[in-house]
Every structure is written in C-alpha cells, then in structure tokens.
Amino acid sequence: TGPFDPENRIIFSAGALVGTGAPTAGRTTVSSIAPRGFPEPMWTSSSIGGYWGAELKYAGYDSIVIQGRASSPCYVLIEDDRVSIEDAGDLWGQGVHATQQQLKTRYSDQHQIVVIGPAGENRVRYASIIHRLSNASGNGGFGGVMGSKNLKAIVVRGTRGVKIAHPQEFLQAVADTWEMTKGGLGHIGKVESGYPNVACSHGCSVACYTRILKTSGQIASGAPMRMLKCVNGSMVRGSHHGYQGVSTSGDNLTIPGPPGFNELGLDIGNLLDDLGLTAWCFDTWSRYLGGLRELGIRTILGEPINLEDPLWWRDLLIKIAYREGIGDDMAEDLPRFYEKHGIGPRYMAEFVASKGSRGHGWHRDGRAMERHPSPFWEYSALLYAVSTRDVTPSTHGFFFLNGLYGYPDAPKRTPEILESLQALAEKVYGSREAVLPGDTYIEYVTRWHQHRAIIKDSLGLCDFVFPVVRRNQDSREAMEEALNAGVDEIYGDTAIEAKLFKACTGLDIGIDQMESPIAERIVNLERSLDVRNFGRNRESDEVVIPHYQWGEKTDGTHLSAEASEFRALLDRFYTLRGWDKETGIPTPEKLQSLGLGEERLI
C-alpha cells in the first residue's frame, strides 16, 4: 500500500489528557504512510496543536480512522453523535484560510477545523494539514494523503466535557507542573501573556515563539494576521546560520543561511499555510538553491534563482502547490527532484535532505540548521538512524539541556561542565557521561527519550515542556544560582505525566510502566511495521553516516571516515533494544516478551 492508495489509512488521535486543562494538552497525533518518506515510503506520525483535538474529545471521540477515497470532494462533519460526509465541491481549490472562514460561517465559530490547501489537493509530498492560522501537521506530507482521498476538511463540534476522576489531585498536579516549567523548557523566564503573545494550543501558555502579528497585505495570503512560530520566524528574520566545511571525503561545502524578509516574511509564511505547504520547505529549498548559487549556478531548469526577492518566492510556492512548470518536480521534494535532475553535486543536495533524513530537511543535526555540539549531535544521529518519524519535534528534551552550559558554545573538556548538570544527567539518565562530549552513553539517552516521546504523544502534550527534565527559573540569574546550588535545585519531575494521568483517569499506571512495557511496545511495533512493509533494516539505518561526517558547526566534531564508532553505537543500541545486531530487526524473543509475538509482524 502506498501513501496515496485508497487502502492507506490516516488516523487522528487526541491524547488521553487533551481537553482537560493539563499543561499543553491540546495536541493531536496524525498517523499514516508518509508521502515524504524517501527512498521508500514509511509509516510515520506527526502532531498538530490548537483546539481541534480538544473539540474531538468534547464530541466524545478519542480517534478517527479514515480509509478509502470519495468519488468527489467532501468533508467530514462531526457534531457530537451526528457524523456525516458533506459535499466540498465549493471548497475544493480554495486556500486554507478561506475554507475555514466559509465553514465557520456555515456552522459556528465554535466548530474546529483541520483542512488542506491546494498543495494537499495536488498531492504535494510535503503538503500540510492546517488548523486555524498555522497549527500544522507538516513534515509527513499528510495533507497529500487527505487530498488523495478527496477529503478537504474535518469539522468538529463537541458539547460534552472530559471527566476528571480526581479533580483536586488533578488541579494540584497542574499547578505543580506550571510552577516547575514556568515558560517552558526552551526558554528561561516566566510565562509571557498579552498581545501579541498567544497560546498555540489548548491548555498552553508557554513562553516560546508564538506571536500574532499583522501581515503587510502586499502578498495575498488569505488572512490579515500571522501566527508566528519558531519555523515561521525564519522568513521574517532569516533562518539559522549557513554552513561552511569539509567532509571526511574531502568535499568542500558552502551553504548560506536563508534570507529574511521582515514584514513581507509574515506574508510569505501565511501564503505557505494558505497553500497548505509545510513551512519547513522554505528552509530546505533556500539552502539547496543558495548552495547552487555559491557554485555559480544562477538558474534552475530555466528559472532564475532570486532568493532575496519575496515576490519570486510567492510565485515559486504557488507553482509548487499547483504543480505548475518547475513546481511539478519540486512538489516531489528535494531528494526526488535531485534524483531526476542531478543539479549540483550530490553531496550538497544530500547535506540538505537525503535518505538519512528520510526525505525531510535535516534539522537539529548540528550542521544544516541549529548548532548542536557533542554529545547532542551524536544523539541526533542515532535518532535519525533508528526512528520512524521526523525526529526533531519529539526530541527537544535532551537538546534543551544544551542551554544549561552556554549554548551554543559548549565546553570542550569535562571539567568545564557544571557539577550540577552532570549530577542531573546521572539522576535522569543513569550516568554523568550522558552530557559529556562523545557517544559513550548515548544509546541509553536515546532509548529514554524515545519512550518519553511516545508517552508525550499518547497523552497529547508538548515537547517544549515534557518530559520535565529540569526546573525552570524566573531569570537567567536565578538559573545560574540554581545551577551552582546543586542538582536538587534544577531537577524537575520526570514522573509528572503519570501523576496527571492518574488524577485525570483514575488509572494507576506509574511512569516506569508507561516507559516499559507500554512505550517500548509501541517503539517495537512501529519498527516492525516498517520492517515488514518497507524493508527497514540496519542498512537503512546506516544511511545517516555521510551526513555526520561533516563537522559540527560549533566544535567541528564528526564521525570518522570509517564511521566505526557509529556502527559500534548502533551495535550497543540494538543490543539494548533487543534487536538483532546484524539486521537491526526486533528479535522474536523481544516481540514475544512485549506481547507482539502472535501478530505476525515480521
């Protein structure tokens, strides 16, 4: 089954805490066979914030499973117990924002909507599912899956609540979580409130990047306001620094950082969402096309490369969404575009997006985008190797420790790393070596965060808060004092998810049980599905190696030319997971121990 086949299912699941008022509990997980998977499809998942998941819970549903293909454009309408399939002929071809406005006029402002734009209708491989202004399930390309089913939108209205088993205990757990995390783990400081700050999801007031700003109106984008988030900010202020370096094979590479367009960047960001394209594609194409210009290539398939011109970007994005001209091949995403046209050196295209990144643009790798010195890039490398999804959105927890010792200028020697940070690593991961340069303990860190990402997604929480590895402070000065005071002043509560869950549902499932067997079972199930259906194995995992043979932006560290250290890390991880070291496939004994032995998964 391929991603656009009628038999492919797309599943929307609101987590167990969604709609309850638990901190950040507004996220919905979307699962399907991903159009973006490269070189072969892969089963994957992505999450979307906002208020749609809470509304689904209020209507009385935890999940929706959609299969098949409608004979003509339609949308699904859910109003409590009433579920119907409605004609969307008048909506097909319209942008995301106009579609939502028309549906809210037709029903009510309280109806919550997930919708696709022209990119999804035309099966662009990185088409998003959008909610509100810019909440998105973006990187899997699930907008194209909806488009292949002639499904324009899912409209939900619920009038019931979510029952709380132990209200007072639940409120206390909520208060404890906010006190520990304050403005979230990506920042230090209190929660920001008031215009232009806005919560991106139900139950959230984290001090991250979300702002509501007026667009200039110079580029038609379907809405007068922009919900600015981290990735969208790159179009305004410019993205992460470019890259210049030499790989272990001797290849030289210069990739400039993407440009920013100030207020016109808000228009470009809104246009991306209105067309139903993932905002990350701006960064991917900017880096590839910018790299071509560094090589003296000024045109591509007869089109000029004018990266600094926002109107050029407007025209290009529209061509991609409607698959017009050069946009038809670019709609297949960079790896497939390169396989067809081969413009520029292969190592440059694969530095931006490749088999190793499963077709996505590389992110949080210490090279293409953010700076992540050792041991953080080793963690990134192992995650990319063994995961079944774009790894970044569910793995901020370990990266956020980076900031505790001077991100991005991490210390090069062990004595420079604060004693309290080493003690925190020992308390959370089981060893101080988890935060020391190198990969000595990375397999344990990776397994822990894989499990915690599963728990987070299953509960509908946000990775800018969970897992609560460290305690936040009101200011940088207060954080410095806490770091110097010792581990008890900076440790958060890595069991708080279980406390929230128990108070909400009445089910006494501890955090250890959530990790194993529950999360461990899900990790092995996902791996087994990709093994059975798409041939995932050790060879597939090792395709990440060439990317990490380029030096990291900050400290210059990289895999050796032989990559023997990374293969040894894979050996250790497979052994820890109970997977065969030669093949990377879960052993029958491991599957049997998790209750998966009778499923004939492999």
pLDDT at position 484 is 87
Phi–psi pair at 557, nearest 5 degrees: -70, 155
Query: Within the chain, which residues score under 50 in pLDDT?
Result: none
Tokens of 226: 């922009």
Q: Is 21 exposed, middle or buried (0-12, 13-18, 19+ CB in 10 A)?
A: middle
What is the spatial distance between Cα 397 and Cα 178, in angstroms, rounded to a whole number?
16
- Cβ contact 204:462 at 8 Å: yes
Domain at 10-157: CATH code: 3.60.9.10
pLDDT at position 407 is 55
- The structure tokens 């880096």 sit at 287
- The structure tokens 């202020």 sit at 237
pLDDT at position 22 is 95
- Cβ contact 526:388 at 8 Å: yes
Non-local CB neighbours of 396 within 8 Å, separated by 6+ positions: 185, 186, 463, 464
What pLDDT digit, counting tens, does each position of 174-188 carry? 999 988 988 777 677
- The structure tokens 């995403």 sit at 333
**Residue from 585, 569, 582, 587 nearest 447 by CA:** 569
pLDDT at position 105 is 98
The DSSP bridge partners found for residue 228 are 211
pLDDT at position 12 is 98
Count the neighbouring beta carbons within 10 Å of the beta carbon of residue 510. 12
pTM of the model: 0.96
Domain layout of the chain by residue ranges = 10-157, 209-361, 363-602
H helices of 88-232, in order, are: 96-106, 118-121, 142-148, 167-181
- Cβ contact 208:464 at 8 Å: yes
CA distance to 342, 398, 452, 509, 584, per residue, from 518 (Å): 44, 21, 11, 10, 21
**Architecture of domain 209-361 in this structure:** Orthogonal Bundle (1.10)
Instruction: Cis check for the bond before 408: say yes or no (omega within 30 of 0).
Output: yes
Tokens of 246: 């030499």
Top-tier CATH class for 363-602:
mainly alpha
- Cβ contact 7:119 at 8 Å: no
Non-local CB neighbours of 422 within 8 Å, separated by 6+ positions: 432, 435, 436
Q: Strand runs (DSSP E) across 112-150, as ranges?
A: 112-115, 129-131, 135-137
Non-local CB neighbours of 34 within 8 Å, separated by 6+ positions: 3, 41, 42, 43, 44, 140, 141, 142, 359
pLDDT at position 226 is 84
Max Cα–Cα distance, the chain, nearest Å: 66
pLDDT at position 399 is 76
What is the spatial distance between Cα 126 and Cα 145, in angstroms, rounded to a whole number?
10
pLDDT at position 541 is 97
**Residue from 341, 447, 339 nearest 398 by CA:** 447
Non-local CB neighbours of 284 within 8 Å, separated by 6+ positions: 333, 334, 352, 353, 361
